[in-house]
Structure 1
Amino acid sequence: MASTTHFCALDDTKDLHEELSTIRRHLHQHPELAYQEFQTADLVARQLEGWGYQVTRGLGGTGMVASLTAGSGSRAVAVRADMDALPITEETGLPYASAHQGLMHACGHDGHTTMVLGAARHLARTRRFNGTVHLVFQPAEEIGADSGAERMIADGLFERFPCEAIFGLHNHPGYPTGTFMFRSGPFMAACDTVDVTIHGRGGHAARPHLAVDPVVIGSTLVTALQTVVSRNVDPMETAVITVGAFNAGHVANVIPESARLQISVRSFDAEVRKLLETRIRALVEAHASAYGARADIKYIAGYPVVVNSERETGLALQVARELVGDEQVIDGFGPIAGSEDFAYYLQHKPGCFLRLGNGEGAPMLHNAAYDFNDANLTVGAAYWTRLVERFLAEQA
């Protein structure tokens, strides 16, 4: 049986910092969009195979699972990292800034991948765990629908790589590096998208009485939609409706035929999620009709709520406290209105999705000035290593 008398400490992975920083900055310089993570997957697979992992590629497209067994234990645990970048033009000015115009790692997936690689490296060289670890490297988290998590699950992820629980994390700008944040139960929001096209009647700007102006209708609809949360949702519940895009017309003297609104809808409760869809559909249709127009509505279901299981969150929290001390651990953090396709894994397996501070005053996620903080690389590597060791040392 593998020895589990010593669990990974922060100092145990410090020697990996330069190696991990080199990998992370290479990934940052070569970002790839959803389902196009070919070079990223090649680099990750080469590293893992060199450390003795059995690597299975092609899950969910460019996804992969790396497996390693130590000792005689029959238990298994999974840790997930995401690999894709965003269609954002980088404005950091860093020497390792994106070499691909219009693409960048603006959400830190380069860091998430590298931290799990760091844990893989340390687990392989120490093998102080008793059972099997599956490291899940996932494509297409940022895509919003038909995501990498969905596709990997559909490709038989949990049937081919059985595990008792799955864990993942996301960096969190605004909090000090090395600070861990947890919440049991609903943690991150469900996110749906609504695409609304208002069909009016175009005409001359000087004769609005002969037209049905979709710009006016859309403008008042933006305001009306805000009443759904303030007047239909229980004040003790949380929901967000944001109109992120409003497009209509091309010149000043023409009333256009149509206007298009794109809406983001976020919630933390299944019943609230249903209520939001019902009210938004009814309001949009009635609003357009009242002005003599009609509306086409495409309601696109996105990621579900991230719901952390109590037992696994408790263990993940305890591991963080052991690793960095109580002062760098926040329990009961959130909830967070952002969404995550890790939610799909948690519909199949118990587990925990957590947050790790990326630095106070750091640029926010999805910002052209964002960069993952390399100070977290060995912290994350040590955390994942210790979590695997602790989980597999626990009694079933």
Structure 2
Amino acid sequence: MDSRDLKLAKEVWRKLHHTPELSGQETKTKEILKDYLTNYTTLSVVETPDYLYTVYEEKDCEQPQLTICLRADMDAIPDGEGGVFHGCGHDGHSAALFLTALCLERLRQKCKKIGKRVILLWQQAEETGEGARLACPVLLKESVSEIYGCHNIPGYPLGEVLLCKQVFACASKGLILDLHGKQSHAAYPEQGINPGYLIAEIVNKLPIWCEDHKKGLTMASIIEMKVGSENFGISAGNGRLCLTLRAHYQEDLEMLTEAILAYARQQAETSGITMEVSETDAFPDTVNDTALTEKLEQLCIDHALPYTYLPVPMRWSEDFGWYQKKCRGVFFGIGAGEKTPGLHTESYCYPEALLEKAGMIWETIIMH
């Protein structure tokens, strides 16, 4: 790896790190990436409101070329105090992919052929599950046959490739139930319809419903419960229950959703409660192609890249699964250091030293 390229990638990382933007608002982030790509490479750059990508292709090829895509995300997250920070390392992901663009540029300048087309894709809004879904048209437009993505993962040795056969990350969604009963005087609760009791019943049944699905992990996390207000003379007439549902497999997630809604609707109708249902932050399951996972493992072996298989899939979700529903794909982790603070914690920061190792992994994939 060229030391000048690495120095430039670190420069990009620092600029991105100090320009964090929330999902769907990554205007300055895209400007930084586009400026560096146009100033330091001759790759074709395509920009849309939702993503940015480059195209590397070789001329005078006698045979049709395989097209692969490498993907990075770019959005930041709230810091809990009204600010925004790169608490998931997407600044590092984007900078590492820029380093790969510099690698492709050097190949072009040296007239060294790799026998394939390479799409480098920077997408927005991974944190909300929307970015990959909006960027999926790139796969069809550019005839992508294989797509690769990765995420830094603290707690593992720096640069170690973390593989998972089949499911890498969970499917998940936010489920919101708004319940409307009838307010009454607190001294006469029987004259009203308090939705708090139905909310309590649903919450108590969550562990049972989760246990009913045995294909893989299935769980429900209580995010918010709200009934009435702090007024001790009133028995509440309105309530809200917000849950995050997640499962290794999409089918289990949908079965859990249906179990909750079927019970809630039946009990609401019996009790005289009207219910409004909404879903948000939907992520598909991230399921790896077996052959591509084995191919990546062999690359690690052949090129002395440290790797390990994760014992279980990650509980968090990753919108990369939208791509995998369109073409063959593999998602893997890269160890961010055994002592690096956890993702989304206030003290987390993408390790600068990881840029070179991530760049080497991407380079290995595009070269072989």
Give the aligned CA root-mean-square deviation in angstroms. Answer: 2.2
| TM superposition shift of 1:209 | 3.4
Matched residue of 1:34: which SS?
coil
CA distance in 1, matches of 2:339, 2:270: 47
With over 3 angstroms needed to count, the CA separation of the structure-2 counterparts of 1:333 and 1:122, relative to structure 1, is farther
Deviation per CA, 1:73-114: give whole Å up to 9, x if none.
Answer: 622211001111123347xxxxxxxxxx52121211111101
With over 3 angstroms needed to count, the CA separation of the structure-2 counterparts of 1:333 and 1:165, relative to structure 1, is farther
Task: Say yes or no: does 1:81 pair with 2:43.
Answer: no
Matched residue of 1:340: which SS?
coil
| TM superposition shift of 1:332 | 4.7
With over 3 angstroms needed to count, the CA separation of the structure-2 counterparts of 1:89 and 1:298, relative to structure 1, is closer
Report 1:17-32 matches (<5 A): 17-32=6-21
Report 1:47-196 matches (<5 A): 47-50=36-39, 51-58=41-48, 61-70=49-58, 72=61, 74-89=65-80, 102-127=83-108, 128=112, 129-144=114-129, 147-153=130-136, 156-196=137-177
> Would the aligned equivalents of 1:14 and 1:378 in 2 still touch at CA under 8 Å?
no
State the AA in 2 paired with 1:380. A
Give the match for residue 340 of structure 1: 318
| TM superposition shift of 1:248 | 2.8
Matched residue of 1:367: which SS?
coil
CA distance in 2, matches of 1:216, 1:361: 45
Report 1:243-262 matches (<5 A): 243-253=222-232, 254-262=234-242
> Would the aligned equivalents of 2:185 and 2:235 in 1 still touch at CA under 8 Å?
yes
State the AA in 1 paired with 2:57. T
Which structure 2 segments of 5+ residues have no match? none
Give the match for residue 358 of structure 2: 380
Matched residue of 1:135: which SS?
strand
Q: Which of 180, 185, 189 is the aligned partner of 1:204?
A: 185
TM-score (ref. length: structure 2): 0.90
Give the match for residue 228 of structure 1: 209
Task: Say yes or no: does 1:240 pair with 2:219.
Answer: yes
Give the match for residue 97 of structure 1: none
> Would the aligned equivalents of 2:128 and 2:281 in 1 still touch at CA under 8 Å?
no
Give the match for residue 269 of structure 1: 249
State the AA in 2 paired with 1:242. S
Matched residue of 1:52: which SS?
coil
With over 3 angstroms needed to count, the CA separation of the structure-2 counterparts of 1:115 and 1:194, relative to structure 1, is same
CA distance in 2, matches of 1:246, 1:225: 14
With over 3 angstroms needed to count, the CA separation of the structure-2 counterparts of 1:291 and 1:226, relative to structure 1, is farther
Percentage of pairs with the same residue: 26
The number of aligned residues is 359
Deviation per CA, 1:196-250: give whole Å up to 9, x if none.
Answer: 01222223334433333323432332122221012x222x532111121222333
Task: Say yes or no: does 1:355 pair with 2:344.
Answer: no
TM-score (ref. length: structure 1): 0.84
> Would the aligned equivalents of 1:85 and 1:104 in 2 still touch at CA under 8 Å?
yes
Matched residue of 1:302: which SS?
strand
| Bigger mean CA deviation after superposition, 122-131 or 345-354 | 122-131
> Would the aligned equivalents of 1:205 and 1:252 in 2 still touch at CA under 8 Å?
no
> Would the aligned equivalents of 1:342 and 1:353 in 2 still touch at CA under 8 Å?
yes
CA distance in 2, matches of 1:319, 1:14: 23
CA distance in 2, matches of 1:372, 1:203: 53
Give the match for residue 320 of structure 1: 300
> Would the aligned equivalents of 2:128 and 2:282 in 1 still touch at CA under 8 Å?
no
CA distance in 1, matches of 2:6, 2:251: 46
Give the match for residue 35 of structure 1: 24
Deviation per CA, 1:62-81: give whole Å up to 9, x if none.
Answer: 31110112463622211001
Matched residue of 1:55: which SS?
strand
Task: Say yes or no: does 1:330 pair with 2:320.
Answer: no
Give the match for residue 95 of structure 1: none
| TM superposition shift of 1:158 | 2.1
With over 3 angstroms needed to count, the CA separation of the structure-2 counterparts of 1:289 and 1:367, relative to structure 1, is farther
State the AA in 1 paired with 2:213. V
State the AA in 2 paired with 1:130. G
CA distance in 1, matches of 2:330, 2:88: 20
CA distance in 2, matches of 1:22, 1:205: 63
